[in-house]
Structure 1
Protein backbone atom coordinates (compact mmCIF):
# COMPACT_ATOMS: atom_id res chain seq x y z
CA UNK A 1 0.00 0.00 0.00
CA UNK A 2 1.36 3.43 -0.84
CA UNK A 3 2.36 5.65 2.02
CA UNK A 4 0.95 9.17 2.02
CA UNK A 5 1.23 11.72 4.82
CA UNK A 6 -2.31 12.74 5.77
CA UNK A 7 -1.00 15.59 7.85
CA UNK A 8 2.53 16.46 8.91
CA UNK A 9 2.31 19.04 11.65
CA UNK A 10 5.32 20.58 13.30
CA UNK A 11 3.06 22.52 15.66
CA UNK A 12 4.13 25.63 17.55
CA UNK A 13 7.56 24.38 18.60
CA UNK A 14 8.09 26.26 21.83
CA UNK A 15 11.72 27.30 22.36
CA UNK A 16 13.97 24.49 23.51
CA UNK A 17 15.27 26.65 26.35
CA UNK A 18 11.88 26.51 28.06
CA UNK A 19 11.78 24.14 31.04
CA UNK A 20 9.95 20.92 30.20
CA UNK A 21 7.03 21.61 32.51
CA UNK A 22 6.61 25.13 31.15
CA UNK A 23 6.54 23.74 27.62
CA UNK A 24 3.81 21.31 28.68
CA UNK A 25 1.84 24.12 30.37
CA UNK A 26 2.04 26.25 27.22
CA UNK A 27 0.68 23.39 25.14
CA UNK A 28 -2.09 22.62 27.62
CA UNK A 29 -3.08 26.30 27.61
CA UNK A 30 -3.16 26.32 23.80
CA UNK A 31 -5.41 23.23 23.74
CA UNK A 32 -7.69 24.80 26.36
CA UNK A 33 -8.03 27.99 24.32
CA UNK A 34 -8.89 25.89 21.28
CA UNK A 35 -11.45 23.79 23.17
CA UNK A 36 -13.35 26.52 25.01
CA UNK A 37 -15.40 27.84 22.06
CA UNK A 38 -15.70 24.39 20.45
CA UNK A 39 -17.15 22.53 23.47
CA UNK A 40 -20.52 24.37 23.57
CA UNK A 41 -20.75 24.26 19.78
CA UNK A 42 -20.14 20.50 19.71
CA UNK A 43 -22.56 19.95 22.60
CA UNK A 44 -25.29 21.75 20.66
CA UNK A 45 -24.42 19.90 17.44
CA UNK A 46 -24.70 16.54 19.23
CA UNK A 47 -28.01 17.50 20.84
CA UNK A 48 -29.46 18.67 17.50
CA UNK A 49 -27.87 15.80 15.55
CA UNK A 50 -26.22 18.20 13.12
CA UNK A 51 -23.71 16.89 10.59
CA UNK A 52 -21.22 19.26 12.27
CA UNK A 53 -21.13 16.87 15.25
CA UNK A 54 -19.19 14.40 13.08
CA UNK A 55 -16.85 16.90 11.41
CA UNK A 56 -15.94 19.22 14.29
CA UNK A 57 -13.98 16.57 16.27
CA UNK A 58 -11.78 15.99 13.21
CA UNK A 59 -10.84 19.68 13.17
CA UNK A 60 -10.25 19.61 16.92
CA UNK A 61 -8.00 16.55 16.85
CA UNK A 62 -5.96 17.82 13.91
CA UNK A 63 -5.46 21.12 15.71
CA UNK A 64 -4.39 19.31 18.89
CA UNK A 65 -1.84 17.30 16.92
CA UNK A 66 -0.44 20.56 15.56
CA UNK A 67 -0.18 22.03 19.04
CA UNK A 68 1.48 19.06 20.72
CA UNK A 69 3.78 18.22 17.80
CA UNK A 70 2.54 14.85 16.51
CA UNK A 71 3.03 14.04 12.84
CA UNK A 72 0.97 11.29 11.20
CA UNK A 73 1.71 9.24 8.09
CA UNK A 74 -1.10 7.11 6.68
CA UNK A 75 -0.86 3.91 4.62
CA UNK A 76 -3.95 2.70 2.80
CA UNK A 77 -7.43 4.15 3.09
CA UNK A 78 -10.54 3.80 5.19
CA UNK A 79 -13.13 1.52 3.62
CA UNK A 80 -16.08 3.25 1.97
CA UNK A 81 -18.52 0.43 2.71
CA UNK A 82 -21.04 0.77 5.50
CA UNK A 83 -21.82 -0.47 8.12
CA UNK A 84 -18.14 -0.26 9.18
CA UNK A 85 -16.50 -1.38 12.41
CA UNK A 86 -12.79 -0.52 12.69
CA UNK A 87 -10.70 -2.78 14.94
CA UNK A 88 -7.31 -1.39 16.02
CA UNK A 89 -4.46 -2.05 18.42
CA UNK A 90 -4.18 0.26 21.42
CA UNK A 91 -1.02 1.94 22.71
CA UNK A 92 -1.86 5.22 24.46
CA UNK A 93 -4.49 7.85 25.18
CA UNK A 94 -2.79 9.60 22.26
CA UNK A 95 -4.40 7.03 19.93
CA UNK A 96 -7.74 8.84 20.25
CA UNK A 97 -6.27 12.09 18.99
CA UNK A 98 -4.33 10.44 16.15
CA UNK A 99 -7.26 8.36 14.90
CA UNK A 100 -9.82 11.08 15.56
CA UNK A 101 -7.88 13.33 13.19
CA UNK A 102 -8.21 10.88 10.28
CA UNK A 103 -11.94 11.08 9.59
CA UNK A 104 -15.30 11.34 11.38
CA UNK A 105 -15.05 8.43 13.84
CA UNK A 106 -16.60 7.49 17.15
CA UNK A 107 -14.98 5.26 19.74
CA UNK A 108 -16.02 2.33 21.88
CA UNK A 109 -14.67 3.06 25.36
CA UNK A 110 -14.78 1.39 28.76
CA UNK A 111 -17.41 2.82 31.07
CA UNK A 112 -14.84 4.33 33.49
CA UNK A 113 -13.76 6.82 30.85
CA UNK A 114 -17.15 8.54 31.06
CA UNK A 115 -16.30 9.83 34.55
CA UNK A 116 -12.72 10.92 33.91
CA UNK A 117 -12.10 14.67 34.24
CA UNK A 118 -11.87 16.46 30.88
CA UNK A 119 -11.21 13.24 28.92
CA UNK A 120 -14.66 11.93 29.83
CA UNK A 121 -16.24 15.14 28.56
CA UNK A 122 -14.34 14.93 25.29
CA UNK A 123 -15.32 11.26 24.92
CA UNK A 124 -19.00 12.09 25.35
CA UNK A 125 -18.76 14.94 22.85
CA UNK A 126 -17.08 12.51 20.42
CA UNK A 127 -20.30 10.45 20.69
CA UNK A 128 -18.46 7.48 22.19
CA UNK A 129 -20.30 4.31 23.19
CA UNK A 130 -19.38 3.29 26.75
CA UNK A 131 -19.33 -0.38 27.66
CA UNK A 132 -18.80 -2.34 30.87
CA UNK A 133 -16.26 -4.95 29.80
CA UNK A 134 -16.12 -6.73 33.15
CA UNK A 135 -19.87 -7.41 33.25
CA UNK A 136 -20.35 -10.12 30.66
CA UNK A 137 -24.12 -10.16 31.11
CA UNK A 138 -24.20 -6.65 29.66
CA UNK A 139 -22.33 -7.59 26.48
CA UNK A 140 -25.62 -8.04 24.62
CA UNK A 141 -26.70 -4.50 25.44
CA UNK A 142 -23.32 -3.15 24.39
CA UNK A 143 -23.30 -4.95 21.03
CA UNK A 144 -26.86 -3.78 20.36
CA UNK A 145 -25.89 -0.15 21.08
CA UNK A 146 -22.83 -0.39 18.84
CA UNK A 147 -24.86 -2.12 16.13
CA UNK A 148 -27.43 0.68 16.18
CA UNK A 149 -24.71 3.27 15.62
CA UNK A 150 -23.18 1.23 12.81
CA UNK A 151 -26.58 0.85 11.19
CA UNK A 152 -27.03 4.62 11.37
CA UNK A 153 -23.87 5.00 9.26
CA UNK A 154 -21.32 5.87 11.95
CA UNK A 155 -17.85 4.35 11.60
CA UNK A 156 -16.93 3.03 15.05
CA UNK A 157 -13.46 2.25 16.41
CA UNK A 158 -13.01 -0.76 18.71
CA UNK A 159 -9.65 -1.37 20.37
CA UNK A 160 -9.45 -5.13 19.98
CA UNK A 161 -7.07 -5.76 22.88
CA UNK A 162 -9.45 -4.18 25.37
CA UNK A 163 -6.53 -2.37 27.02
CA UNK A 164 -3.34 -0.56 26.09
CA UNK A 165 -0.26 -2.54 25.09
CA UNK A 166 3.41 -1.69 25.33
CA UNK A 167 3.62 -0.24 21.82
CA UNK A 168 5.82 -3.13 20.66
CA UNK A 169 3.65 -6.21 20.98
CA UNK A 170 0.00 -6.64 20.03
CA UNK A 171 -2.01 -8.31 22.79
CA UNK A 172 -4.65 -10.99 22.07
CA UNK A 173 -7.91 -9.55 20.77
CA UNK A 174 -11.18 -10.03 22.61
CA UNK A 175 -14.03 -11.35 20.49
CA UNK A 176 -17.08 -10.28 22.53
CA UNK A 177 -17.70 -6.92 20.85
CA UNK A 178 -16.49 -7.80 17.34
CA UNK A 179 -19.88 -9.44 16.86
CA UNK A 180 -21.47 -5.98 17.05
CA UNK A 181 -20.92 -5.68 13.29
CA UNK A 182 -23.57 -8.37 12.78
CA UNK A 183 -26.04 -6.35 14.85
CA UNK A 184 -26.01 -3.74 12.09
CA UNK A 185 -27.56 -6.19 9.62
CA UNK A 186 -31.09 -5.73 10.94
CA UNK A 187 -31.68 -3.00 8.38
CA UNK A 188 -31.59 -5.49 5.53
CA UNK A 189 -27.93 -5.05 4.56
CA UNK A 190 -26.37 -8.12 2.94
CA UNK A 191 -23.11 -7.65 4.85
CA UNK A 192 -21.33 -5.48 7.36
CA UNK A 193 -17.62 -4.68 7.16
CA UNK A 194 -14.84 -4.90 9.72
CA UNK A 195 -11.55 -3.19 8.92
CA UNK A 196 -8.25 -3.83 10.72
CA UNK A 197 -6.13 -0.79 11.55
CA UNK A 198 -2.59 -0.71 12.91
CA UNK A 199 -1.11 2.17 14.87
CA UNK A 200 2.58 2.53 15.62
CA UNK A 201 4.64 5.32 17.12
CA UNK A 202 7.82 5.23 15.06
CA UNK A 203 10.01 8.23 15.89
CA UNK A 204 10.49 10.95 18.45
CA UNK A 205 12.58 13.99 17.69
CA UNK A 206 13.44 12.37 14.38
CA UNK A 207 15.01 9.31 16.04
CA UNK A 208 13.49 5.80 15.98
CA UNK A 209 11.65 4.87 19.17
CA UNK A 210 13.22 1.71 20.56
CA UNK A 211 11.75 -0.66 23.13
CA UNK A 212 13.19 1.33 26.02
CA UNK A 213 11.92 4.71 24.81
CA UNK A 214 8.49 3.34 23.91
CA UNK A 215 7.45 3.50 27.58
CA UNK A 216 7.50 7.30 27.23
CA UNK A 217 4.72 7.06 24.64
CA UNK A 218 2.81 3.90 25.58
CA UNK A 219 0.34 4.30 28.44
CA UNK A 220 0.36 0.90 30.07
CA UNK A 221 -1.77 -0.56 32.82
CA UNK A 222 -2.15 1.62 35.90
CA UNK A 223 0.27 4.37 34.88
CA UNK A 224 -0.74 7.77 36.25
CA UNK A 225 -2.15 9.97 33.50
CA UNK A 226 -0.78 13.33 34.68
CA UNK A 227 2.98 12.56 34.53
CA UNK A 228 2.54 10.63 31.28
CA UNK A 229 0.66 13.58 29.79
CA UNK A 230 3.42 15.99 30.86
CA UNK A 231 6.02 13.67 29.36
CA UNK A 232 4.28 13.69 25.98
CA UNK A 233 3.58 17.42 25.95
CA UNK A 234 7.04 18.50 27.09
CA UNK A 235 8.98 16.31 24.70
CA UNK A 236 10.06 16.55 21.05
CA UNK A 237 7.77 15.80 18.08
CA UNK A 238 6.36 12.29 17.68
CA UNK A 239 5.90 10.50 14.35
CA UNK A 240 2.96 8.09 14.20
CA UNK A 241 2.20 5.63 11.41
CA UNK A 242 -1.38 4.51 10.76
CA UNK A 243 -1.97 1.59 8.39
CA UNK A 244 -5.40 0.58 7.11
CA UNK A 245 -5.91 -3.09 6.24
CA UNK A 246 -8.41 -4.64 3.85
CA UNK A 247 -11.98 -4.60 5.14
CA UNK A 248 -13.54 -8.00 5.81
CA UNK A 249 -17.19 -8.65 4.99
CA UNK A 250 -19.29 -10.47 7.57
CA UNK A 251 -22.89 -11.63 7.66
CA UNK A 252 -25.20 -13.34 10.11
CA UNK A 253 -23.38 -16.65 9.61
CA UNK A 254 -19.90 -15.26 10.34
CA UNK A 255 -18.26 -16.74 13.42
CA UNK A 256 -17.06 -13.84 15.57
CA UNK A 257 -14.17 -15.78 17.11
CA UNK A 258 -12.83 -16.76 13.69
CA UNK A 259 -13.27 -13.16 12.53
CA UNK A 260 -11.45 -11.88 15.63
CA UNK A 261 -8.50 -14.20 15.04
CA UNK A 262 -8.25 -12.96 11.46
CA UNK A 263 -8.37 -9.32 12.56
CA UNK A 264 -5.70 -9.91 15.20
CA UNK A 265 -3.43 -11.59 12.65
CA UNK A 266 -3.99 -8.74 10.18
CA UNK A 267 -3.19 -6.05 12.75
CA UNK A 268 -0.05 -7.87 13.88
CA UNK A 269 1.10 -8.12 10.27
CA UNK A 270 0.34 -4.44 9.61
CA UNK A 271 2.21 -3.34 12.75
CA UNK A 272 5.27 -5.33 11.67
CA UNK A 273 5.05 -3.99 8.11
CA UNK A 274 4.81 -0.38 9.29
Structure 2
Protein backbone atom coordinates (compact mmCIF):
# COMPACT_ATOMS: atom_id res chain seq x y z
CA UNK A 1 0.00 0.00 0.00
CA UNK A 2 1.19 3.51 -0.82
CA UNK A 3 2.38 5.62 2.09
CA UNK A 4 -0.26 8.29 1.52
CA UNK A 5 -2.96 5.63 1.91
CA UNK A 6 -1.33 4.33 5.08
CA UNK A 7 -1.23 7.89 6.39
CA UNK A 8 -4.91 8.36 5.62
CA UNK A 9 -5.78 5.20 7.54
CA UNK A 10 -3.53 6.26 10.42
CA UNK A 11 -5.26 9.63 10.76
CA UNK A 12 -8.68 8.00 10.85
CA UNK A 13 -7.51 5.41 13.38
CA UNK A 14 -6.06 8.13 15.62
CA UNK A 15 -9.32 10.08 15.42
CA UNK A 16 -11.26 6.97 16.41
CA UNK A 17 -8.92 6.24 19.32
CA UNK A 18 -9.58 9.70 20.74
CA UNK A 19 -13.34 9.43 20.23
CA UNK A 20 -13.72 5.96 21.70
CA UNK A 21 -11.61 6.67 24.79
CA UNK A 22 -13.49 9.93 25.33
CA UNK A 23 -16.86 8.20 25.07
CA UNK A 24 -15.73 5.48 27.46
CA UNK A 25 -14.06 7.99 29.79
CA UNK A 26 -11.53 5.22 30.32
CA UNK A 27 -8.55 3.84 28.45
CA UNK A 28 -4.95 4.44 27.45
CA UNK A 29 -4.59 7.00 24.66
CA UNK A 30 -0.85 7.77 24.89
CA UNK A 31 0.56 4.36 24.05
CA UNK A 32 -2.31 3.61 21.67
CA UNK A 33 -1.39 6.62 19.56
CA UNK A 34 2.29 5.66 19.47
CA UNK A 35 1.73 2.26 17.81
CA UNK A 36 -0.74 3.34 15.13
CA UNK A 37 1.73 3.61 12.25
CA UNK A 38 3.21 0.17 12.85
CA UNK A 39 -0.28 -1.33 12.94
CA UNK A 40 -1.23 0.27 9.62
CA UNK A 41 1.79 -1.22 7.88
CA UNK A 42 1.14 -4.63 9.42
CA UNK A 43 -2.58 -4.79 8.67
CA UNK A 44 -2.69 -3.01 5.31
CA UNK A 45 0.68 -3.82 3.77
CA UNK A 46 2.38 -6.83 5.36
CA UNK A 47 0.25 -9.42 7.09
CA UNK A 48 -1.55 -12.18 5.24
CA UNK A 49 -5.14 -12.10 6.52
CA UNK A 50 -8.79 -12.12 5.51
CA UNK A 51 -11.23 -9.97 7.53
CA UNK A 52 -14.10 -12.15 6.35
CA UNK A 53 -12.33 -15.22 7.75
CA UNK A 54 -10.68 -14.08 11.01
CA UNK A 55 -9.84 -17.67 11.95
CA UNK A 56 -8.36 -18.60 8.57
CA UNK A 57 -5.72 -21.23 9.49
CA UNK A 58 -3.08 -19.86 7.13
CA UNK A 59 -3.29 -16.25 8.29
CA UNK A 60 -0.39 -14.41 9.88
CA UNK A 61 -0.84 -13.89 13.62
CA UNK A 62 -0.54 -10.71 15.67
CA UNK A 63 -0.13 -10.42 19.45
CA UNK A 64 -0.55 -7.08 21.21
CA UNK A 65 1.53 -7.84 24.28
CA UNK A 66 0.92 -4.35 25.68
CA UNK A 67 -2.78 -5.12 25.81
CA UNK A 68 -3.89 -1.87 27.45
CA UNK A 69 -3.21 -0.06 24.14
CA UNK A 70 -5.92 -2.10 22.46
CA UNK A 71 -7.91 0.99 21.32
CA UNK A 72 -5.31 1.27 18.53
CA UNK A 73 -5.83 -2.36 17.56
CA UNK A 74 -9.63 -2.14 17.73
CA UNK A 75 -9.65 0.96 15.56
CA UNK A 76 -7.29 -0.71 13.07
CA UNK A 77 -9.37 -3.89 12.92
CA UNK A 78 -12.49 -1.83 12.25
CA UNK A 79 -10.61 0.14 9.59
CA UNK A 80 -9.54 -3.15 7.97
CA UNK A 81 -13.11 -4.47 7.96
CA UNK A 82 -13.12 -7.09 10.72
CA UNK A 83 -16.18 -5.52 12.35
CA UNK A 84 -18.31 -2.36 11.97
CA UNK A 85 -16.86 0.92 13.17
CA UNK A 86 -19.97 1.42 15.32
CA UNK A 87 -18.62 -1.19 17.74
CA UNK A 88 -15.86 1.25 18.73
CA UNK A 89 -18.32 3.56 20.46
CA UNK A 90 -19.14 0.85 23.03
CA UNK A 91 -15.57 0.45 24.29
CA UNK A 92 -15.38 -0.83 27.89
CA UNK A 93 -19.16 -0.96 28.30
CA UNK A 94 -20.67 -3.93 30.11
CA UNK A 95 -21.73 -6.58 27.64
CA UNK A 96 -19.94 -4.92 24.72
CA UNK A 97 -17.60 -6.80 22.40
CA UNK A 98 -14.65 -4.45 22.92
CA UNK A 99 -13.28 -4.50 26.45
CA UNK A 100 -10.25 -2.84 28.04
CA UNK A 101 -7.88 -5.62 26.97
CA UNK A 102 -7.96 -7.88 23.90
CA UNK A 103 -10.12 -11.01 24.12
CA UNK A 104 -9.67 -13.63 21.43
CA UNK A 105 -12.95 -15.29 22.43
CA UNK A 106 -15.18 -12.30 21.71
CA UNK A 107 -13.49 -10.06 19.15
CA UNK A 108 -12.90 -10.97 15.47
CA UNK A 109 -9.26 -10.44 14.51
CA UNK A 110 -7.79 -10.85 18.01
CA UNK A 111 -5.35 -13.77 17.96
CA UNK A 112 -4.35 -13.72 21.64
CA UNK A 113 -5.97 -12.54 24.85
CA UNK A 114 -3.51 -10.22 26.61
CA UNK A 115 -3.43 -7.76 29.46
CA UNK A 116 -0.94 -9.00 32.03
CA UNK A 117 2.24 -7.39 30.78
CA UNK A 118 5.21 -9.51 29.77
CA UNK A 119 3.27 -12.56 28.58
CA UNK A 120 2.58 -11.80 24.92
CA UNK A 121 6.00 -12.77 23.61
CA UNK A 122 5.74 -16.19 25.27
CA UNK A 123 2.39 -16.79 23.57
CA UNK A 124 3.82 -15.63 20.24
CA UNK A 125 6.72 -18.05 20.67
CA UNK A 126 4.22 -20.87 20.96
CA UNK A 127 2.45 -19.77 17.80
CA UNK A 128 5.70 -19.44 15.85
CA UNK A 129 6.95 -22.82 17.05
CA UNK A 130 3.62 -24.39 16.06
CA UNK A 131 4.04 -23.05 12.53
CA UNK A 132 7.54 -24.54 12.39
CA UNK A 133 6.43 -27.95 13.64
CA UNK A 134 3.44 -28.02 11.28
CA UNK A 135 5.62 -26.83 8.36
CA UNK A 136 3.40 -23.79 7.78
CA UNK A 137 4.63 -20.52 6.30
CA UNK A 138 2.53 -18.07 8.30
CA UNK A 139 4.36 -15.54 10.45
CA UNK A 140 3.84 -14.08 13.92
CA UNK A 141 4.14 -10.40 14.84
CA UNK A 142 4.20 -8.90 18.34
CA UNK A 143 4.19 -5.38 19.78
CA UNK A 144 5.56 -4.93 23.30
CA UNK A 145 6.18 -1.73 25.23
CA UNK A 146 9.56 -0.49 26.41
CA UNK A 147 8.19 -0.33 29.96
CA UNK A 148 6.84 -3.84 29.53
CA UNK A 149 10.28 -5.28 28.82
CA UNK A 150 11.17 -4.59 32.44
CA UNK A 151 9.25 -7.85 33.00
CA UNK A 152 11.57 -10.84 33.42
CA UNK A 153 9.31 -13.13 31.39
CA UNK A 154 10.12 -11.12 28.28
CA UNK A 155 13.77 -12.13 28.56
CA UNK A 156 12.97 -15.78 29.23
CA UNK A 157 10.85 -15.70 26.08
CA UNK A 158 13.61 -13.91 24.17
CA UNK A 159 16.06 -16.65 25.11
CA UNK A 160 13.58 -19.36 24.06
CA UNK A 161 12.83 -17.70 20.71
CA UNK A 162 16.54 -17.69 19.87
CA UNK A 163 17.02 -21.26 21.13
CA UNK A 164 14.33 -22.53 18.76
CA UNK A 165 15.47 -20.32 15.86
CA UNK A 166 12.05 -18.71 15.42
CA UNK A 167 12.84 -16.74 12.28
CA UNK A 168 9.10 -16.53 11.58
CA UNK A 169 8.71 -14.27 14.64
CA UNK A 170 9.05 -10.47 14.59
CA UNK A 171 8.86 -8.37 17.73
CA UNK A 172 8.30 -4.60 17.70
CA UNK A 173 9.40 -2.70 20.79
CA UNK A 174 7.33 0.47 21.09
CA UNK A 175 10.14 2.64 22.43
CA UNK A 176 8.36 5.83 23.46
CA UNK A 177 10.37 6.21 26.67
CA UNK A 178 7.40 6.61 29.02
CA UNK A 179 5.36 4.30 31.23
CA UNK A 180 2.62 4.82 33.78
CA UNK A 181 4.92 6.11 36.55
CA UNK A 182 7.28 8.22 34.45
CA UNK A 183 10.24 7.86 32.13
CA UNK A 184 11.50 4.30 31.68
CA UNK A 185 15.02 5.46 32.46
CA UNK A 186 13.83 6.62 35.89
CA UNK A 187 11.51 3.75 36.76
CA UNK A 188 13.73 0.87 35.60
CA UNK A 189 16.24 1.74 32.91
CA UNK A 190 15.84 -0.70 30.00
CA UNK A 191 18.71 0.67 27.93
CA UNK A 192 20.53 -0.42 25.86
CA UNK A 193 17.58 -2.33 24.37
CA UNK A 194 19.20 -3.19 21.05
CA UNK A 195 22.40 -4.53 22.63
CA UNK A 196 20.40 -6.66 25.05
CA UNK A 197 18.45 -8.36 22.25
CA UNK A 198 21.65 -8.86 20.26
CA UNK A 199 23.16 -10.51 23.33
CA UNK A 200 20.16 -12.85 23.31
CA UNK A 201 21.06 -13.80 19.70
CA UNK A 202 18.30 -11.88 17.93
CA UNK A 203 18.50 -10.03 14.65
CA UNK A 204 18.02 -6.41 15.73
CA UNK A 205 16.90 -3.39 13.71
CA UNK A 206 16.42 0.18 14.96
CA UNK A 207 13.95 2.47 13.19
CA UNK A 208 11.69 5.50 13.42
CA UNK A 209 8.36 3.90 14.33
CA UNK A 210 6.40 6.60 12.50
CA UNK A 211 8.27 6.29 9.17
CA UNK A 212 6.36 3.97 6.83
CA UNK A 213 9.34 3.25 4.59
CA UNK A 214 11.45 2.39 7.62
CA UNK A 215 8.76 0.07 9.00
CA UNK A 216 8.28 -1.64 5.64
CA UNK A 217 12.02 -2.01 5.15
CA UNK A 218 12.53 -3.53 8.59
CA UNK A 219 9.72 -6.03 8.02
CA UNK A 220 11.22 -6.99 4.67
CA UNK A 221 14.58 -7.67 6.34
CA UNK A 222 12.84 -9.71 9.04
CA UNK A 223 11.21 -11.91 6.40
CA UNK A 224 14.54 -12.73 4.78
CA UNK A 225 16.48 -13.30 8.03
CA UNK A 226 17.01 -17.00 8.67
CA UNK A 227 17.84 -18.85 11.84
CA UNK A 228 16.94 -16.16 14.38
CA UNK A 229 13.97 -14.00 15.42
CA UNK A 230 13.93 -10.27 14.66
CA UNK A 231 13.45 -7.43 17.13
CA UNK A 232 12.55 -4.05 15.65
CA UNK A 233 13.28 -1.27 18.12
CA UNK A 234 10.86 1.45 17.03
CA UNK A 235 11.48 4.94 18.35
CA UNK A 236 8.03 6.47 18.82
CA UNK A 237 6.25 9.42 20.42
CA UNK A 238 3.70 8.73 23.12
CA UNK A 239 0.49 10.55 22.21
CA UNK A 240 1.66 10.93 18.59
CA UNK A 241 -0.32 13.42 16.54
CA UNK A 242 -1.86 15.46 19.35
CA UNK A 243 0.21 18.37 20.62
CA UNK A 244 -0.95 18.36 24.24
CA UNK A 245 -0.52 14.60 24.55
CA UNK A 246 2.86 14.10 22.89
CA UNK A 247 5.55 12.98 25.34
CA UNK A 248 3.33 13.75 28.35
CA UNK A 249 3.33 10.86 30.80
CA UNK A 250 -0.06 11.72 32.34
CA UNK A 251 -1.75 10.67 29.08
CA UNK A 252 -0.69 7.08 29.63
CA UNK A 253 -4.08 6.18 31.04
CA UNK A 254 -6.30 9.25 31.11
CA UNK A 255 -9.39 9.92 29.01
CA UNK A 256 -9.82 13.32 27.32
CA UNK A 257 -12.62 15.66 28.28
CA UNK A 258 -15.11 16.60 25.57
CA UNK A 259 -13.22 19.86 24.98
CA UNK A 260 -9.88 18.08 24.79
CA UNK A 261 -11.43 15.60 22.38
CA UNK A 262 -12.60 18.44 20.12
CA UNK A 263 -9.13 19.98 20.19
CA UNK A 264 -7.46 16.66 19.42
CA UNK A 265 -9.78 15.91 16.51
CA UNK A 266 -9.20 19.41 15.10
CA UNK A 267 -5.44 18.85 15.24
CA UNK A 268 -5.87 15.54 13.46
CA UNK A 269 -7.85 17.23 10.72
CA UNK A 270 -11.23 15.85 11.68
CA UNK A 271 -14.38 17.19 13.28
CA UNK A 272 -13.77 19.79 15.97
Fold similarity call, TM over 0.5: no
Q: What is the TM-score normalised by the length of structure 1? A: 0.34
Q: Which has the higher strand share?
A: 1
- Larger-Rg structure: 1
